Amino acid sequence: MARREQEIVVSTGAGGLGAAVAAETGGALGEVEAIRARGYWELIWRRFRRDKVAIGSGAFIILLILIAFAGAPIAKHYVGHGPNDLFLTAPAVNLAGLPANPWTHVTNEATGKKNVLVLGAANRLGQDEFLRLIYGARISLEVAGLSTLGVMIIGVLLGATAGYFRGWVDTIISRLTEVTMAFPLLIFVISLAATVGPQLDKITLGIFPKGVLTLVVIFSLFGWFYPARIMRAQVLSIREKEYVEAARMIGASNTRIIRSHVLPHLVAPIIVYSTLTVASYVLLEAGLSFLGVGIKFEPSWGNLLSSGPDFYTTRPLLMVWPGLAVLLTTLAFNLLGDGLRDAFDPRASNM
Amino acid sequence: MHRRLWLSAAMLVVGASLLVAASFASAGTANHALKQGGIWKYGTEGASVQVDPQLAYITTAWWLEYATAAKLYNYPDKAGPVGTKLVPEVASKFTVSRNGKVYTFTLRKGFKFSDGAAVSAKNFKYAIDRVANKDLASPGAQFITDPSGTNIVGAKKVNDGQAQHVSGVVVKGNKLIIHLTKADGTFMAKITMPFFQATSTKLPLDKEVVTVNGSNLPSAGPYFYSRNDVNQLTSIRKNTHYSKGPGRTRPHNLAGLDVFWNQTEQTLFNQTQANQIDEDNTLPPDQVQGVANQYGKNKTRFWAKSQNCTGYLPLNMSNSLFKGNTNLRKAINYAVNRGPYVGQAGPFAGDVWTHIFNPAVPGWRNVTIYKRNLTTAKKLAKGHLKSGKITVYYRSSGTINPAQAQIVRQDLINLGFQAGNITMKGFSGGNIYTAMGVKGNDADMGVSMGWCSDYPDPYDWINILLYGPSIQADNNVNYSYMNIPKWNKKMASAAKLVGPRRLKVYSQMDIDIMKQVAPMAVTRTYNTRYLFSNRVNPKSLVFQGIYSDFSIGAMALK
Amino acid sequence: MFRYLIRRILWAVLLFIVITFVTFVIFFMGPNDPARAQCGGDQAQPACLKLVTEHYGLDKPIYVQYWRFFKRLVFQQNLGHSYATGQSINQAIGKAAPVTASLVFGGAILWMIMGLLIGVYSALKPRSLLDRTAMVFVLIGISAHPVWIGLIFEYLFGVKLKWTPIANYANFFGAPKDSGLPGGPWQWFYHMILPWCTFAILFAALYARMIRANVMETLNEDFVRTARAKGAPERRVLFSHVLRNALLPVVTMLGMDIGVALGGAIFTETVYQLPGLGRSLIIGVQSNDFATVQGVVVFATIAILLFNLIVDVLYAWIDPRIRLT
For B151-198, write each residue's pLDDT tens digit: 999 999 999 889 999 999 999 999 999 999 988 877 888 899 999 999
The Cα A337–Cα A272 span in angstroms is 5
Nearest-CA distance A115 → chain C (Å): 30
Hey, which chains touch B, using 3+ CB pairs under 8 Å?
A, C
Query: Looking at the domain assignment, is residue A214 inside a domain?
Result: yes
Query: Looking at the domain assignment, is residue B300 inside a domain?
Result: no
* Contacts by C237-240, CB closer than 8 A, 24 or more apart: C238/C124
Contacting residues of C for B265, CB less than 8 Å apart: 273
Local confidence band at B31 (pLDDT 50, 70, 90 cut-offs): low
Helix A72-79 and helix A129-165, axial crossing angle in degrees, nearest 10: 170
**Looking at the partner chain, which of B8, B39, B475 has a beta carbon nearest the beta carbon of C49?**
B475
For B339-355, write each residue's pLDDT tens digit: 999 999 889 999 999 99
- In 3D space, the residue among A177, A181, A188, A291 whose CA is nearest the CA of residue C297 turns out to be A188
Partner-chain contact C88 B230, CB within 8 Å: yes
Partner-chain contact A312 C159, CB within 8 Å: yes
Structural domain including B230 reads 31-261+533-550
For B263-280, write each residue's pLDDT tens digit: 888 888 988 998 989 999
**Looking at the partner chain, which of A196, A319, A330 has a beta carbon nearest the beta carbon of C29?**
A196
Query: Looking at the domain assignment, is residue B8 inside a domain?
Result: no
Same domain membership, residue B541 and residue B516: no
Query: Looking at the domain assignment, is residue A324 inside a domain?
Result: yes
The Cα B308–Cα B545 span in angstroms is 8
A46-60, A139-153, A203-217: least confident range: A203-217
Query: Looking at the domain assignment, is residue A266 inside a domain?
Result: yes
Contacting residues of B for C166, CB less than 8 Å apart: 264, 266-267, 270
Partner-chain contact C41 B434, CB within 8 Å: no
Which run of H or E residues covers position A125?
none
Confidence (pLDDT) at B354? 96
Q: How many CA atoms lie within 13 A of C154 on its CB side?
A: 29
Confidence (pLDDT) at B9? 33
Q: CB of B383 within 8 Å of any CB in chain A? A: no
Residue A20 pLDDT greater than 60, yes or no: no
Hey, which chains touch C, using 3+ CB pairs under 8 Å?
A, B
Q: What is the chain B residue with the closest CA to C288?
A: B429
Query: Looking at the domain assignment, is residue A13 inside a domain?
Result: no
Same domain membership, residue B221 and residue B162: yes
Contacting residues of B for A292, CB less than 8 Å apart: 397-399
Residue ranges of B 475-534 with Cβ closer than 8 A to chain C: 475, 477
Question: Are the C-beta atoms of A215 and A143 separated by less than 8 Å?
Answer: yes
Say which CATH number the domain at A194 has.
1.10.3720.10
The Cα B184–Cα B195 span in angstroms is 18
Same domain membership, residue B539 and residue B522: no
Residue B27 pLDDT greater than 60, yes or no: no
The Cα C199–Cα C149 span in angstroms is 9
Residue A1 pLDDT greater than 70, yes or no: no
Query: Looking at the domain assignment, is residue B342 inside a domain?
Result: yes
Residue A12 pLDDT greater than 50, yes or no: no
- In 3D space, the residue among B404, B497, B389, B406 whose CA is nearest the CA of residue B443 turns out to be B389
Question: Are the C-beta atoms of B95 and B88 separated by less than 8 Å?
Answer: no
Q: CB of C194 within 8 Å of any CB in chain B? A: no
Helix B459-466 and helix B499-512, axial crossing angle in degrees, nearest 10: 50
Partner-chain contact A195 C29, CB within 8 Å: yes
Confidence (pLDDT) at A346? 64
Partner-chain contact C168 B231, CB within 8 Å: no
**Summary mean pLDDT of chain A:** 82
Partner-chain contact B426 A95, CB within 8 Å: no
Q: CB of C288 within 8 Å of any CB in chain B? A: yes
Residue A348 pLDDT greater than 60, yes or no: no
Confidence (pLDDT) at B453? 75
Query: Looking at the domain assignment, is residue A72 inside a domain?
Result: yes
- Percentages helix, strand, coil for chain A (3-state, rounded to 5) are 70, 5, 25
Residue B219 pLDDT greater than 80, yes or no: yes
Interface test with C, best of A60, A191, A338 (most C CBs within 10 A): A191
Nearest-CA distance B484 → chain C (Å): 23
* Better-scored residue on pLDDT, A3 or B490: B490
Question: N- to C-terminal Cα distance for chain A?
Answer: 20
Same domain membership, residue B360 and residue B226: no
Say which CATH number the domain at B481 has.
3.10.105.10
In angstroms and rounded to an integer, the radius of gyration of the C-alpha atoms of chain A is 24
**Looking at the partner chain, which of A199, A320, A330 has a beta carbon nearest the beta carbon of C143?**
A330
Residue ranges of B 213-272 with Cβ closer than 8 A to chain C: 227, 229-233, 258, 260, 262-267, 270
Query: Looking at the domain assignment, is residue B64 inside a domain?
Result: yes
Partner-chain contact B340 A296, CB within 8 Å: no
Q: CB of C251 within 8 Å of any CB in chain A? A: no
For C213-240, write each residue's pLDDT tens digit: 888 888 888 888 888 888 878 788 887 7
Same domain membership, residue B212 and residue B77: yes
The one-letter amino acid at B331: A
Domain annotation for chain C: domains and CATH numbers: 2-76 (no CATH), 96-324 (1.10.3720.10)
- In 3D space, the residue among B334, B73, B80 whose CA is nearest the CA of residue B191 turns out to be B73
Same domain membership, residue B454 and residue B537: no
Confidence (pLDDT) at C80? 81
Same domain membership, residue B317 and residue B250: no
Q: CB of B185 within 8 Å of any CB in chain A? A: no
Query: Looking at the domain assignment, is residue B515 inside a domain?
Result: yes
Query: Looking at the domain assignment, is residue A213 inside a domain?
Result: yes
For B407-424, write each residue's pLDDT tens digit: 999 999 999 999 889 998
pLDDT by 10s per residue, chain C, length 325? 678 888 888 988 998 898 888 888 887 766 666 777 666 666 666 666 777 777 777 778 888 888 888 888 888 888 888 877 777 888 889 989 999 999 999 999 999 999 999 999 898 888 889 888 998 999 999 999 999 999 899 888 888 888 888 777 888 887 766 666 677 888 899 889 999 999 999 999 999 988 998 888 888 888 888 888 888 787 888 877 788 777 777 877 787 787 778 888 999 998 888 889 998 898 888 877 888 888 998 898 888 888 888 877 777 776 666 555 4
Confidence (pLDDT) at C37? 67
Same domain membership, residue B48 and residue B137: yes
Partner-chain contact C30 A291, CB within 8 Å: no
A79-83, B30-34, C156-160: least confident range: B30-34
Same domain membership, residue B247 and residue B180: yes
Contacting residues of A for B288, CB less than 8 Å apart: 96-97
Confidence (pLDDT) at A23? 38
Instruction: Number of B to C CB contacts under 8 A, please give it.
Output: 156
The Cα B387–Cα B421 span in angstroms is 9
The Cα A211–Cα A199 span in angstroms is 10
Name the phi and psi angles at C119, rounded to 5. Answer: -60, -50
Q: What pairs with residue A222 in β-bridges?
A: none
**Looking at the partner chain, which of A124, A201, A313 has a beta carbon nearest the beta carbon of B403?**
A124
The Cα A145–Cα B525 span in angstroms is 45
Contacting residues of A for C293, CB less than 8 Å apart: 191
Same domain membership, residue B542 and residue B493: no
Q: What is the chain C residue with the closest CA to B433?
A: C42
A71-75, A171-175, B175-179, C3-7: least confident range: C3-7
For B38-47, write each residue's pLDDT tens digit: 999 999 988 8
Nearest-CA distance A32 → chain C (Å): 37
Average pLDDT of span B392-415: 91
* Better-scored residue on pLDDT, B308 or B484: B484
* Better-scored residue on pLDDT, B180 or B497: B180
Residues with Cβ < 8 Å from A77, sequence gap 6 or more? none
Local confidence band at A58 (pLDDT 50, 70, 90 cut-offs): very high
Q: CB of C283 within 8 Å of any CB in chain B? A: yes
Partner-chain contact C293 A196, CB within 8 Å: no
**What global pTM score does this model have?**
0.85
Partner-chain contact C287 B451, CB within 8 Å: no
Partner-chain contact B339 A314, CB within 8 Å: no
Query: Looking at the domain assignment, is residue B58 inside a domain?
Result: yes
Cβ count within 10 A of residue C163: 11
Same domain membership, residue B546 and residue B494: no
Confidence (pLDDT) at C321? 61
Confidence (pLDDT) at A178? 85
Number of domains in chain A: 1
Contacting residues of A for B286, CB less than 8 Å apart: 96-98, 310-311, 313-315
Instruction: Number of A to B CB contacts under 8 A, please give it.
Output: 76
Question: Are the C-beta atoms of B353 and B524 separated by less than 8 Å?
Answer: yes
Query: Looking at the domain assignment, is residue B302 inside a domain?
Result: no
Query: Looking at the domain assignment, is residue A133 inside a domain?
Result: yes
Number of domains in chain B: 2
Please tell me the total number of residues recorded for chain C in this structure.
325
Work out the percent of chain A whose per-residue pLDDT is above 70.
87
Contacting residues of C for A190, CB less than 8 Å apart: 266, 281-282, 285
Partner-chain contact B230 C165, CB within 8 Å: no
Contacting residues of A for C285, CB less than 8 Å apart: 190-191, 194-195, 293
Nearest-CA distance A110 → chain B (Å): 8
Structural domain including A179 reads 52-349
Q: Which one-letter DSSP state was computed for residue B312?
A: E
What value, to the nearest 5°, has the Cα angle with vertex C93 and ends C87 and C95? 90
Partner-chain contact C40 B263, CB within 8 Å: no
Confidence (pLDDT) at B351? 93
Average pLDDT of span B63-70: 95
Work out the percent of chain B whose per-residue pLDDT is above 70.
94
Say which CATH number the domain at B62 has.
3.40.190.10
The one-letter amino acid at A189: V
Query: Looking at the domain assignment, is residue B17 inside a domain?
Result: no
- Sign of the dihedral through C-alpha C261, C262, C263, C266: positive
Most confident option among A99-113, B191-205, B492-506: B191-205
Same domain membership, residue B394 and residue B374: yes
Confidence (pLDDT) at B396? 84
Cβ count within 10 A of residue A313: 18
Contacting residues of B for A88, CB less than 8 Å apart: 337, 339-340, 407
Partner-chain contact C139 A335, CB within 8 Å: yes
Confidence (pLDDT) at A9? 38
Q: What is the chain C residue with the closest CA to A290?
A: C147
Confidence (pLDDT) at B32? 56
- In 3D space, the residue among A287, A291, A307, A327 whose CA is nearest the CA of residue A100 turns out to be A307
Q: What is the chain B residue with the closest CA to A202?
A: B425
Strands B549-550 and B543-544 come out as: antiparallel
Residue ranges of C 63-102 with Cβ closer than 8 A to chain A: none
B113-122, B318-327, B376-385, C54-63: least confident range: C54-63
Query: Looking at the domain assignment, is residue A31 inside a domain?
Result: no
Cβ count within 10 A of residue C109: 12
For B354-376, write each residue's pLDDT tens digit: 999 998 888 899 999 999 999 99
